[in-house]
Amino acid sequence: MDLIETLRSTGAVRDFLPDAVDDEVVGRILDNARFAPSGGNRQGWRVIVVKDPERRRKLRDIYLPGWYEYLSMGAAGLVPWAPITDEEAERAAAGRAPEVAAKAAEGPGGFAEHLDEVPVLLLVLADLRALAAVDKHHRRYTFAGGASVYPFAWNVLLAARAEGLAGVMTTMPIRDEEAVKRLFDIPDELAVATLIALGRPVHQPTRLRRRTVEEFATTDTWGGTPFATPAG
């Protein structure tokens, strides 16, 4: 596929055909994704390919409570778990998660309720010993270390496109990281970074909607003039 077209059309896909994906295909995806950049070329990612049906079901059960909190916060007009937010409103919204769960139980369910049925589940871990988290002593929320792991996860999604697959990164398992680590026997020095779900898409998005460059880029200062592209 053309690189620019791939960049402009790789969206989050959560609706998959039931077709199985061969290990050989998954292997090629990981083999190509491993060339992602990382701090000091330390490649601090690790991957668990989740195949066991019982572990898949347990992972789904760990996933769902956080997902229902996410939905309840979104319904209240909040950005779920935003580092800067109205904490009281967040707690109130999260408290309504059981109502969301009860309603979900009445229907056929979606991606989250059928997580265990996704053709490919890749649990991506971050080796905390390999991350140059330059902001780890800052007073604000730390995120710099992720720069050495998430490019790999994005490469997985790009490499999947070349195989006719699509998918999504979801960080929801981090919500109950300790339970996930117990389920997969993950040692203390590793952290859960994301879960990547892959499969053959029911529909592949072709036209993604994003803000224009002028809406997020400025010149010289935060309040500078919008950075105008030649076509702007």
pLDDT band at residue 1 using 50, 70 and 90 as cut-offs: confident
**CATH number of 3-204, picked from 3.30.70.890, 1.20.120.50, 3.40.109.10, 3.90.25.10:** 3.40.109.10
pLDDT, average across residues 198-220: 89
Q: What whole-number distance in Å separates Cα of residue 100 and Cα of residue 96?
A: 7
Gap between the Cα atoms of 160 and 33, Å rounded: 9
Per cent of the chain over pLDDT 90 is 88
CA 206 centroid distance within chain: 20
Query: Is the confidence at residue 232, as pLDDT, over 80?
Result: no
pTM of the full predicted structure?
A: 0.93
